[in-house]
Structure 1
Amino acid sequence: MNVVTKQGQLRIIGGEWRSRKLTILDAEGLRPTPDRVRETLFNWLAPYIEGASVLDLFAGSGALSLEALSRGASHATLLDVNVSVINHLKKQIQLLNCQKATLLNQSALLFLDQPVARTFDLVFLDPPFGKAMLEPCCKLLVNNKWLTDDAWVYTESELSPSQLVMPRDWTAYREKKAGQVYYTLWRTR
């Protein structure tokens, strides 16, 4: 169980909730995606975000999903194993009066290993570092058919994209490094 220690802030960069500041919990292992990384990512995704169905497998601060919803995504499903983080996200989503988000207090690997209820156009995959969860999640996304035909998968990792064993049909569309984090947008077809 992660221990919650204090709160920080998250600023939504664009869209309906542009410049809104929300509180985030400072929980063990939580690494909110910085503003400049989110800005770069959503510039990459600009033509694809409107109407997208989003899956955020390690939601944490919710920064990526909230940004996607603010910019026109149709729905986001956010998962996190820390119940305190999920409860806090629920309050933030209520503050935004958002009806387009589903929160699940569940392990990403267990979620992906069940029958598919819906497919997703965009997946955010930012697992805890050093836990070897990125590649198994990607494998389950493909093998269990969680992705639409034209899906995008965004990853954050301590390893460079060339060091990862990703599904055969995926290609790194865009990639950058910020500090010790490699972030990559993958084309899945």
Structure 2
Amino acid sequence: MYRELFFMYLIVTGVDMQGRMLFPPGRASLWRLGFGTPVNENDNSLSCGGLKHRWEVNNGRCGVCGDPWDSIPRDHEQGGKFYSDVTSAIFEAGKPATFSLDISNANGGYFEFRVCVKDNTTAEVSQKCLDEGQLEFLNHGLRFTEVVEGLNEVQVLLSEKLICESCLLQWKYTTVNIVTVGSNV
């Protein structure tokens, strides 16, 4: 017997990374999988506007989807040119979920995932809500550190309490070649 299912919209943020979520696909990459969303050729490099811009202009702040903090509207958030209200995957609460990430420029570091319940589709998601919903990796704790170039498949644990019609998933990839930055998804 299945428990309620929850939907996830994926948002991705990173720091000097080159990678994308293949499953579930992120907002920036939905077009690659035939969802009919706007094309974002830079879907593998959402980096908050770059290191210099993030820290010198935005005091380290980053949009929850990896866009520069000072861009309004932010490209991947509600009102932005790559935003869509598309469900990219459905998962079962209380079960592990496998996520696939394609890393084209592995810089070591680690992955993190966070989730925020977004049942009110008009409300914006805050980083605070996402931070309260950090997911744990199966056998890896809160950070997955075995990042390799190419395909990375990771399993995260989904709480039985995580039940919603729509949730937002945030992937953060923090690389080791940037010492001062801790970052999307």
- Shorter-normalised TM range: under 0.3
TM-score, normalised to structure 1, is 0.25
- Bigger relative contact order, structure 1 or 2, given CA contacts below 8 A and separation 6+? 2
TM-score, normalised to structure 2, is 0.26
Q: Name the structure where helix makes up a greater proportion of residues.
A: 1
